[in-house]
């Protein structure tokens, strides 16, 4: 049996038809090298394990503090109850936690610097794209040709 429609086809409100060329463009992109993939994977795993170790340590210390131990007493109690492998794992995960804190600090400093720079540029009215006169001159073909004739 053949289905024939007597009315127009209606698409959902969020539907946006695109051509095949646009689909190729949207699906494209650069392939990532195996080395870069491995580096990204290891870096993100270390960061995630560091975040977990850091939050676990803070929760454990706060629970021991709530039980009446001092901070030093809580750390000593935790350390003394570990076997050798537990102590090694604690040191490794403390390094991961330090790396995670380092990443957060670098990100925070970069964000503050970017906010400061953009606020300073908006107040002074300077635009970073026009501060380099050689780049601006080389992008304009008439200025580049004039400079080449003058130099010759």
**What is the residue-level pLDDT of the chain in tens, covering all 152 positions?**
566 667 776 777 777 777 666 655 555 556 778 888 888 888 888 888 878 877 877 888 888 888 888 888 888 888 888 888 888 888 888 888 888 788 888 889 999 999 999 888 888 877 655 444 555 444 455 554 454 444 54
CA distances from 1 to 6, 7, 8, 34 (A): 16, 18, 20, 52
17 Ramachandran zone, left/alpha/beta (phi>0; psi -120 to 50):
beta
CA–CA separation, 31 and 37 (whole Å): 10
DSSP 8-state code for residue 81: T
Does the pTM of the predicted model rise above 0.95? no
């Amino acid at each position: 049996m053949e289905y024939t429609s007597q009315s127009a086809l209606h698409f959902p409100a969020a539907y946006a038809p695109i051509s095949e060329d646009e689909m190729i463009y949207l699906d494209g992109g650069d392939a990532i090298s195996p080395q870069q993939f491995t580096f990204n994977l290891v870096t993100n795993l270390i960061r995630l394990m560091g975040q977990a170790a850091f939050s676990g340590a803070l929760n454990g210390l706060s629970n021991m503090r709530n039980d009446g131990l001092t901070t030093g007493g809580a750390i000593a109690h935790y350390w003394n109850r570990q076997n050798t492998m537990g102590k090694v794992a604690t040191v490794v995960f403390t390094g991961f936690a330090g790396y995670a804190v380092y990443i957060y600090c670098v990100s925070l400093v970069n964000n503050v610097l970017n906010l400061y720079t953009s606020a300073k540029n908006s107040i002074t009215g300077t635009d970073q794209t026009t501060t380099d006169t050689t780049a601006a001159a080389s992008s304009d073909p008439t200025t580049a040709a004039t400079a080449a004739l003058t130099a010759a």
